[in-house]
């Protein structure tokens, strides 16, 4: 069976009412869109999709990012899944039901602007199943002791893979 993959870009991001990354352009000539996550405030963005047939196992989120200025220390991200099945009791007008955050961190590239891909294993994924309406939440977590890099972290893309 083939691996199921979703690719989410900055232009498709959805934002909560507060504490969200700025949608920006990372290069003035090539006009590369990015989400600028702050180094001091936990900021969150979401993406929405329908889980496809054949989705199985533990998923992994791959966050492709580059640092604006930091060339040392680390960055930490939290990723959560909200899955809503047909006839679930979740009132989408009044509540969210994200599962527990999955956290990962790594040392940032030694040169500002160089990309890295942080892999986050989703051990909690809200019992997502084929056909579910789901949202993926991605947040930089500056309160995490491993997030010591200064400056904005530019998220260029997020890929979601299943374990097939």
Q: Which residues, listed in sequence order, are joined to residue 91 by a DSSP beta bridge? A: none
pLDDT digits 0-9 by tens, 72-93: 899 999 999 999 998 888 888 8
Do the Cβ atoms of 61 and 155 come closer than 8 Å? Answer: no
Say what the pLDDT of residue 36 is. Answer: 97
Q: Is the pLDDT of residue 37 over 80?
A: yes
CA distance 129 to 125: 10
Mean pLDDT across 30-49 = 95
Cα–Cα distance, 25 to 133 (Å, whole number): 30
CATH number at 34 reads 2.60.120.260
Whether the per-residue pLDDT at 1 is higher than 50: the answer is no
Plot region of 29 (φ>0 → left; ψ -120 to 50 → alpha; else → beta): alpha
Secondary structure element (H or E) that encloses residue 120, with its range: strand 115-122
141 neighbors 113 (Cβ within 8 angstroms): no
Domain around 43 = 5-161
Q: Taking the model in full, what pTM does it have?
A: 0.94
């Amino acid at each position: 069976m083939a691996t199921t993959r979703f690719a989410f870009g900055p232009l498709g991001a959805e934002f909560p009412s507060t504490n969200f990354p700025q949608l920006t352009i990372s290069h003035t000539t090539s006009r590369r869109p990015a989400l600028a996550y702050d180094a001091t405030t936990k900021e969150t963005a979401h993406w929405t999709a329908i889980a496809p047939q054949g989705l199985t196992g533990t998923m992994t989120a791959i966050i492709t990012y580059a640092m604006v200025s930091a060339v040392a220390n680390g960055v930490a991200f939290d990723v959560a899944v909200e899955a809503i099945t047909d006839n679930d009791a979740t009132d989408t007008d009044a509540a969210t039901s994200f599962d527990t955050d999955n956290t990962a961190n790594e040392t940032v590239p030694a040169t500002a602007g160089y990309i890295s891909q942080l892999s986050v294993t989703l051990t909690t994924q809200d019992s997502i199943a084929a056909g579910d309406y789901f949202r993926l939440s991605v947040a930089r977590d500056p309160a995490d002791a491993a997030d010591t890099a200064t400056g904005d972290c530019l998220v260029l893309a997020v890929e979601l893979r299943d374990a097939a």
